[in-house]
Amino acid sequence: MGDILVLAEHRQGELREVTLELLTLAGQLGGNVTALLLGSGVDDFASKIAGFADKVMVVDDPMFADFNQMAYQAALAEIIKNDKPGLVLIGNTGQGVDLVGSLAVELDLPFTTDAIAVVMEGDKPVVTRQYYGGKINGTINFKDAETYVIGVREAAVPAGEGGKSGEVAKVDNPVTAEITARKFLEYVEAAIGDVDITQSALLVSVGRGIREDKNLPMIEELAALMGADISGSRAVIDAGWLPADRQVGISGKTVKPKLYLALGISGAFQHVTGIKGSDLVVAINKDPDAPIFQYADFGIVDDLLKVVPALIDKIKETKG
Amino acid sequence: MSIEEGTFVQKYDLLGCIQCGRCTGGCPVTVRTPLNVRRFVYDTVDDERLEELSENPDIWDCTTCNTCAIRCPKGLEPFEVLLGLRAMRAEEGNLEPTAITALESMFNNGNPWGKAAAKRLDWAEGIDNLKVLEEGQKTDVLLHICCTAAYDPKIQPFVRNLVRVLDAAGVDYGLIGEEEKHCGSEARRLGEEGLFEYFDEENTELFARYDFQRLVTLSPHCFNSFKNEYTNLDIPVMHYTQLVAELLEDGKLELSKEVASKVVFHDPCYLGKKNLVFDEPRYILGKIPGVETTEFFRSKERSLCCEGGGGKMWVESESKAPRLAETRVADAHDLGAQTIAVACPFCWLTIEDAIKAKGYEEEMQVKDILELLDEAL
Amino acid sequence: MNIVVCVKQVPDTSDPDTEVHIDGTGKGVDQGKFSFVINDADNFAVEEAILLKEKHGGEVTVVNIGPEAANQVIRMALAKGGDSAVRLDDEKFAYSDPVATARLLASALKDVEYDLVMTGCLATDDGYGAVGIALAQLLGVPHAAYAKTVEVVDDKKLKVGRELEGGLLEMNEIELPCVLAIQTGGNEPRYASFKGIREASKKEIKVMDLAATGLSEDQVGEAGSVAVMTQYSVPEVGELAEILEGDPAETAGKLAGILKEKGLV
């Protein structure tokens, strides 16, 4: 097969983890792995990436200081046309999704998005994706082409240890024209203290199983550690332990986090209807017959007041 | 929206109001919300203020429990004014997201719970010989299950209980099945007059396809809509407690097993205050062996609402004060009741929550009369 | 400002009780037990379009690819303030991938004057998130994915906030005409009252088949696709939660491991 080109992703001066995940995946697929780093003053990133790639191609230009899809697409199009990689991997992220479809259409290349697995069948990648909210999977087969473009879901493959020492090569910016139709202006942080649980990626949600509000600090510690927001069942909001805008359920908010960690929530129909968009539901409840276990992907049948402190310790260990 | 001159004055007979204040004086939610229904009756006389009044969040505090109507010396229905204001909001599309979700599901699926119509018979899983009617089939009783009983796993068992009771009594009955639709009651309470009219037409047409003598509902909310609000439904409508009382009276239903429990009956608003069905549920409880009954201080016409009706399953009040259902549960606790008996899915759900909130799970339970009947069979 | 908003009708599979069964062909699913709704993000796109129309004037055209049953979501959009509608309907459109889908949408726009095209950022059934982006390229205009805030700067430019991971907004200035793939949560979609929908049923929905699109058979459906979904399969998950066994230290350890593996901590 041809070489694999992986687009590095960074934001606000930080290399994003998805870059290393994609490079790890590319390494597993075989072939030469080239990382393309578009940025401005990104030598640190280049040396980190070099541990995961056979080659790091760096285009250092103020044009790439922040993500601009049009500038990125222009550069990628030139490089793909020149180097003709067999496969281009881009994160299925806020940046990558903005880029994959239009880049592939411009170059008339087969593409797909949000791959959760990629394998090679001969020279051709075959992709697994999720459909219907993850209820079923589907296999994608591409039309024959020289190059395939794939958007890969974050955390589809865990980042490995690296162990390569790729050559870092600075190349000239292939984009000569000024990009005017779209301009990056600034980043605006989500307002702090003004949590909108419908938009939260991670939710730690509490029910009556916490028994008393004096147990809330333990939950807050867990949430802070995980970078999660806190929500609750109607009973907890009624008790005044959490503000009304944190209520999940039919008379509260419908949430769609990547993780919904239900602590001491029995899972009344009126509650679980509100968590239907969640990717992963984990329930901790001491009642093995609690209906929440019918909706959860993973469950722990135990007292949350015993499990949560242990979980805090274990996550701290995991994070090192 | 365009407001025709004098709309509210005529529609709700506002000039009949003498501003005595008995409505607000008896309104149960005033202990926890700022709602003042007398004030709305007074203010809505002025057409020019309707728009502004419809924006007042207090209109969503009403549970439509009918207390104001039952107390009104002039025979008015003050809470209907609030539904009129809600209807203005609905027509403008300016509703709470939770209400929108429920209404869109009614429109798309024929139920407010976001469930597929094709899953409406899921409650019946495992029941052999389920009596789903063919078009034109003759039967005595057409059973309307209603959405909450059909879909809420906590309420579904009551339908199975009801089916078992009717089978035991040899009742000739049948079900519509997957084609059954929401009665429209909660659509109207959420302000969706148009959608209610749609259900009125659709269901009337649907019922006309079957040959039956009486329509029996599981929920008092459907009972009320079919009985009092449908425009062209020309058939006797009964709540299941009325049918079961009749079966007991006629000696068709035998209750043999002892159900030892001290039971207090909580009158569902739409059965009691709205339709004055007070005696049948009590008669049934009296026939269950082993049941010792007691009464709330506030019962029958003075019964305290559980806050499950009036669209309140989907629209919360901002109040932090204890819910009325919690007050109800505390009262039952004081009476030493072990069971709060209800005859309405919404009451069951709100009271179950309240028992948990009060931490009385070990001492008392909420049970639909159907559960008690099933235990006694 | 004239706006085109693309809406898709999808099965509401987000309900935890909804089961998805693969049909005999392996390339489709049984539709019988589904309830159908407007795609969540498209609902926000409709609202954004109506808000812009209310503020800046112009007309909103609703475009859909779907069977006659999809008129339901089109009429809801019309009831909320849409002015006209186009529905692309031909059995040859089945199995279109995002490129073939975008090509169909572009064909519907050839006779429509627009300043702005909006789609939802992601469909809940196939989850590609690529149609709006591909469409922009086909139309030769700039775009923004995950657009959550939209502000009109002047008649040539928009200021658009794209929502990135962690809720961070990436603010961009984008020239009109352009395509925005709208993220959920940026507005509060209004309710289309039953009366409004009934009223909207009087508006004509223009139906386009393959001939009307001016496209050839090999540009649509599976033939016109570059990436074809060839086989659905059932992922390995149990009906009930997988229960983690052990004392609190063990169960917590297992859970931490799972969260780590899934990139959640």
In chain C, what are the domains?
3-219 (3.40.50.620), 238-265 (no CATH)
Residue B56 and residue B117 in one domain: no
Does B314 contact chain A (CB < 8 Å)?
Answer: yes
Return the structure tokens found at C45. 């796109």
- pLDDT score for B317: 85
- pLDDT score for A277: 78
Residue B274 and residue B372 in one domain: yes
Residue B231 and residue B117 in one domain: yes
Nearest chain A CA: its distance from B168 CA (Å): 30
Residue that has been written with the tokens 């040899």 in this structure: B170
- Domain A4-170's class? alpha beta
Asked if residues B351 and B325 have their Cβ atoms less than 8 Å apart, the reply is yes
Of B248, B266, B285, which closes a domain?
A: B248
Return the structure tokens found at C258. 């799972």
Nearest chain B CA: its distance from A240 CA (Å): 7
pLDDT (mean) for A101-120: 97
Nearest chain A CA: its distance from B314 CA (Å): 5
Nearest chain B CA: its distance from A89 CA (Å): 38
Structure confidence at residue A66 as a pLDDT band (50, 70, 90): very high
Interface-testing mutation among C193, C197, C199, C201, with chain B (most B C-beta atoms within 10 A): C193
Return the structure tokens found at A227. 């970078």
Greater confidence, B312 or C265? B312
pLDDT (mean) for C13-32: 84
Q: B114 pLDDT exceeds 70?
A: yes
Structure confidence at residue B178 as a pLDDT band (50, 70, 90): very high
- Tell me the C-alpha distance between C174 and C161, whole Å: 10
Residue B133 and residue B43 in one domain: no
pLDDT mean across residues, chain B:
95
| Interface list for A 240-269 with B (CB within 8 A) | 240, 244, 247, 250-252, 254, 268-269
Nearest chain B CA: its distance from C192 CA (Å): 6
- pLDDT score for C237: 54
Does A213 contact chain B (CB < 8 Å)?
Answer: no
Return the structure tokens found at B88. 């203005």
Of B57, B92, B127, which closes a domain?
A: B92
Does B315 contact chain A (CB < 8 Å)?
Answer: yes
Q: CA of C35: which chain B residue's CA is closest? A: B116
| Interface list for A 171-190 with C (CB within 8 A) | 180-190
Nearest chain C CA: its distance from A296 CA (Å): 5
CATH code of residue B28: 1.10.1060.10
Structure confidence at residue A294 as a pLDDT band (50, 70, 90): confident
Residue B124 and residue B234 in one domain: yes
Return the structure tokens found at A218. 């333990």
For A106-135, b/e burial (b = at least 16 CB within 10 A) is bbebbbbbbbbebebeeebbbbbbbbbbbb
pLDDT (mean) for A95-117: 97
Comparing CB atoms, the residue among B101, B102, B154 nearest residue A268 is B154
The predicted-structure confidence for A123-181, as pLDDT tens digits, reads as follows 899 999 999 877 899 999 999 999 999 999 987 888 899 899 999 999 999 999 999 99
Residue B341's identity, in one-letter code, is A
The predicted-structure confidence for B318-350, as pLDDT tens digits, reads as follows 887 899 999 999 999 999 999 999 999 999 999
Structure confidence at residue B262 as a pLDDT band (50, 70, 90): very high
- pLDDT score for C16: 62
Residue B226 and residue B108 in one domain: yes
Asked if the structure places residue B353 within a domain, the reply is: yes
Lowest mean pLDDT among A233-237, A304-308, C92-96, C205-209: A233-237
Asked if the structure places residue B320 within a domain, the reply is: yes
Structure confidence at residue A190 as a pLDDT band (50, 70, 90): low
- pLDDT score for A106: 98
CB contact under 8 A, B153 and A273: no
- pLDDT score for B1: 45
Chain C positions in Cβ-Cβ contact with residue A110 (cut-off 8 Å): 226-227
Does C125 contact chain B (CB < 8 Å)?
Answer: no
Residue B256 and residue B244 in one domain: no
CB contact under 8 A, C175 and A180: yes
Does A117 contact chain C (CB < 8 Å)?
Answer: no
Structure confidence at residue B5 as a pLDDT band (50, 70, 90): low
The predicted-structure confidence for B361-370, as pLDDT tens digits, reads as follows 899 999 999 9
The predicted-structure confidence for C45-69, as pLDDT tens digits, reads as follows 999 999 999 999 999 999 999 999 9
The predicted-structure confidence for A18-38, as pLDDT tens digits, reads as follows 999 999 999 999 989 999 999
Cβ contacts from A onto C, under 8 A:
282
- Tell me the C-alpha distance between A224 and B145, whole Å: 46
Measure Cα distances from A216 to A242, A281, A286, C255 in Å: 9, 20, 18, 20
- Tell me the C-alpha distance between B145 and B241, whole Å: 14
Predicted structure pTM score = 0.88
Q: Please give the distance of CA B245 from its chain centroid, rounded to a whole number.
A: 19
- Tell me the C-alpha distance between B281 and A111, whole Å: 66
Q: CA of B326: which chain A residue's CA is closest? A: A238
Nearest chain B CA: its distance from A8 CA (Å): 40
Q: Do A197-319 and A4-170 fall under one CATH topology? A: yes
List, edge to edge, every strand of the sheet that includes C116-120.
Answer: A182-188, C169-175, C157-163, C143-154, C178-182, C116-120, C3-7, C60-65, C84-88, C205-208
Comparing CB atoms, the residue among B94, B108, B193 nearest residue C37 is B108
Q: C238 pLDDT exceeds 70?
A: no
- Multiple choice CATH, A197-319, 3.40.50.1100, 3.40.50.12710, 3.40.50.1220, 3.40.50.720: 3.40.50.1220
Q: What ipTM was assigned to the predicted interfaces of this complex?
A: 0.91
Does B153 contact chain A (CB < 8 Å)?
Answer: yes
Q: Which domain holds residue B282?
A: 252-376
Chain A positions in Cβ-Cβ contact with residue C146 (cut-off 8 Å): 94, 97-98
- pLDDT score for C15: 67
CB contact under 8 A, B107 and C15: no
Does C86 contact chain B (CB < 8 Å)?
Answer: no
Of B217, B248, B279, which closes a domain?
A: B248
Asked if residues C265 and A318 have their Cβ atoms less than 8 Å apart, the reply is yes
Does B320 contact chain A (CB < 8 Å)?
Answer: yes
Share of chain A above pLDDT 90, in %: 72
Closest CA to B68 of B129, B12, B8: B12
- pLDDT score for C49: 98
Asked if residues A193 and A245 have their Cβ atoms less than 8 Å apart, the reply is no
Strand partners, B138: B211
Residue B220 and residue B266 in one domain: no
pLDDT mean across residues, chain A:
92
Nearest chain B CA: its distance from C197 CA (Å): 10
Residue B75 and residue B137 in one domain: no
Chain B positions in Cβ-Cβ contact with residue A254 (cut-off 8 Å): 101
- pLDDT score for B84: 97
Contacts of C76 by beta carbon, 8 Å cutoff, 6+ apart? C38, C46, C192, C197, C200
Return the structure tokens found at B202. 């659709």
CB contact under 8 A, A104 and C244: no
Residue C74's identity, in one-letter code, is I
Asked if the structure places residue B182 within a domain, the reply is: yes
Does A198 contact chain B (CB < 8 Å)?
Answer: no
Q: Residue C83 — φ and ψ, nearest 5°? A: -100, -40
CB contact under 8 A, A140 and C125: no
Q: CA of A268: which chain B residue's CA is closest? A: B154
Q: C214 pLDDT exceeds 70?
A: yes
Four-residue CA torsion sign, A304, A310, A316, A317:
negative
- pLDDT score for B232: 95
Instruction: Please tell me the total count of domains within chain B.
Output: 3
Encode B241-252 in three state secondary structure. Answer: HHHHHHHHHCCC
Q: CA of B116: which chain C residue's CA is closest? A: C35
- pLDDT score for A266: 87
Comparing CB atoms, the residue among B114, B318, B353 nearest residue A244 is B318
Measure Cα distances from A279 to A169, A190, A290, B254, C233 in Å: 40, 22, 20, 50, 18
- pLDDT score for A1: 63
Comparing CB atoms, the residue among C126, C252, C265 nearest residue A319 is C265
DSSP letters, B73-115, are TT---HHHHHHHHHHHHHHHT---HHHHHHHHHHHHHSSTTS-
Q: A100 pLDDT exceeds 60?
A: yes
CATH code of residue B340: 3.40.50
Strand partners, A4: A33, A87
Query: Collapsing DSSP states into helix, strand and coil, what is residue C233?
Result: strand
- pLDDT score for C261: 84
Domain limits, chain A: 4-170, 197-319
pLDDT (mean) for B163-174: 97
Measure Cα distances from C71 to A31, A105, B17, B114, C123 in Å: 49, 30, 46, 19, 18
